[in-house]
C-alpha cells in the first residue's frame, strides 16, 4: 500500500474560482521533493460523473455551474476528492491529499457560493457508500468559514460526524453536528496558534474518538492564515502542526485512514509554503 496519494489536475495551477485566482501557480513544481518516493503516488483528478452529482445537487444547480465561467475547474476538483476518498476506502492508499480549483463546503443541494461549486466531500461520501463497504465518516472542517452546504447535506445523517471551526457554537441533539467558535481571542499569554490547536484538540478529537469513523476527512483551508481573506491571525507554521494532529487522530481512531481536502485560501506564497509541509506530515 502507498502511504499517501496526491490528487491534482493541471488546470488548478492556471485558474481557480474568482478571487482565489492562480493560488496554485507554483504547483505541481512545488511537489518536486515528493517525486520518486516509493510511498507516494500521484493521480490526475478525473471529472466527477454527472450521475453522481445529481444524487446530491439539483439539475438547476448543475446547469448554473455549467454556465458559470468561474466553475470551470469544478468537475475535476470534485472528481479528485471523490477518487481520493474511494482510494483510501479501498486500501489502495492510507492517506490522501486532494487539491482543488473550486471549493465545496459552501455548496448545498440547490445553491453554491463562496468560491464553491459542487460539494466535493458529500459527493465523496455518497460515492464511497455505493462502491465500498465504508459508511461512517468524520469530517473536521478548519476552513475559516462555516461549511453551511456540507451541514445542510449531511444534517439528517447520523453516520457523518461534522465538526466545523467557524464563528459560532452549536451542538445537535445527537452530538454529530458541531460548530465551534474559532474567532475568540486567546487567553493572555497564549499565542493564536497554540489557542487554535488546543481548541481543535479539545473540541474535535474526543468526538472523533467516540464516533469511531471508518475514515477521517479533514477539510483544510489556509484562508485562516494571517494576511489571507479569512484571517484568524494564525501563522503559516500552524498548519503542519494541525496536520500532525489530524494524522494522529486518524491513526488512533480511524485505522490510519485520512483524506485531506484543500479548502479556502488565496495567496500563492502561503500555498507554496504550507501545502508541501502539510503533505510531509502525512508521510510520517
- Residue 61's CB is within 10 A of a number of other CB atoms, namely 21
Contact 74, 116 (CB under 8 A): no
Q: How many residues does the chain have?
A: 284
pLDDT of the residue at 180: 98
Model-level pTM? 0.97
Task: Report the mean per-residue pLDDT for the chain.
Answer: 95
Q: Which long-range contacts (CB under 8 A, 24 or more apart) does 50-56 make?
A: 52/82, 52/123, 52/126, 52/127, 53/78, 53/118, 53/123, 55/126, 56/109, 56/118, 56/119, 56/122, 56/123, 56/126, 56/153
Measured distance CA(267)–CA(229) in Å, rounded: 9
pLDDT of the residue at 15: 65
pLDDT in tens, 7-53: 999 999 876 654 456 899 999 999 999 988 999 999 999 999 999 99
Which of 207, 9, 188 is closest to 102 using CA atoms? Answer: 9
pLDDT of the residue at 69: 86
Contact 159, 175 (CB under 8 A): no
Pairing relationship of beta strands 170-171 and 137-141 according to DSSP bridges:
unpaired
100: cell is 482543488
Measured distance CA(104)–CA(120) in Å, rounded: 5
If one looks up domain 2-282 in CATH, what number appears? 3.40.800.20
pLDDT in tens, 253-273: 999 999 999 999 999 999 999
Amino acid at each position: 500500500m502507498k502511504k499517501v496519494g496526491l490528487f491534482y489536475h493541471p488546470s488548478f495551477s492556471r485558474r481557480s474560482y474568482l478571487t482565489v485566482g492562480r493560488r496554485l501557480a507554483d504547483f505541481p513544481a512545488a511537489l518536486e521533493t515528493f517525486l520518486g518516493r516509493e510511498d507516494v503516488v500521484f493521480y490526475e483528478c478525473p471529472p466527477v460523473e454527472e450521475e453522481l452529482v445529481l444524487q446530491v445537487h439539483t439539475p438547476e444547480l448543475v446547469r448554473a455551474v455549467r454556465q458559470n465561467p468561474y466553475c470551470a475547474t469544478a468537475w475535476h476538483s470534485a472528481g479528485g476528492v471523490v477518487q481520493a476518498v474511494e482510494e483510501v476506502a479501498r486500501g489502495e492508499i492510507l492517506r490522501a491529499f486532494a487539491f482543488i480549483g473550486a471549493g465545496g463546503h459552501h455548496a448545498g443541494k440547490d445553491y453554491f457560493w463562496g468560491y464553491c461549486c459542487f460539494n466535493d466531500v458529500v459527493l465523496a461520501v455518497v460515492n464511497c457508500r455505493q462502491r465500498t463497504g465504508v459508511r461512517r465518516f468524520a469530517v473536521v472542517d478548519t476552513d475559516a468559514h462555516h461549511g453551511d452546504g456540507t451541514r445542510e447535506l449531511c444534517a439528517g445523517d447520523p453516520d457523518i460526524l461534522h465538526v466545523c471551526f467557524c464563528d459560532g457554537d452549536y451542538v445537535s441533539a445527537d452530538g454529530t453536528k458541531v460548530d465551534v467558535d474559532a474567532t475568540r481571542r486567546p487567553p493572555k499569554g497564549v499565542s493564536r496558534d497554540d489557542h487554535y490547536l488546543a481548541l481543535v484538540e479539545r473540541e474535535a478529537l474526543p468526538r472523533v474518538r467516540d464516533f469511531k469513523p471508518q475514515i477521517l476527512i479533514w477539510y483544510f483551508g489556509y484562508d485562516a492564515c494571517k494576511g489571507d481573506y479569512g484571517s484568524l491571525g494564525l501563522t503559516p507554521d500552524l498548519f503542519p502542526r494541525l496536520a500532525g494532529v489530524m494524522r494522529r487522530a486518524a491513526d488512533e481512531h480511524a485505522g490510519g485512514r485520512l483524506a485531506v481536502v484543500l479548502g479556502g485560501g488565496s495567496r500563492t506564497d502561503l500555498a507554496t509554503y504550507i501545502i508541501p509541509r502539510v503533505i510531509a506530515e502525512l508521510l510520517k
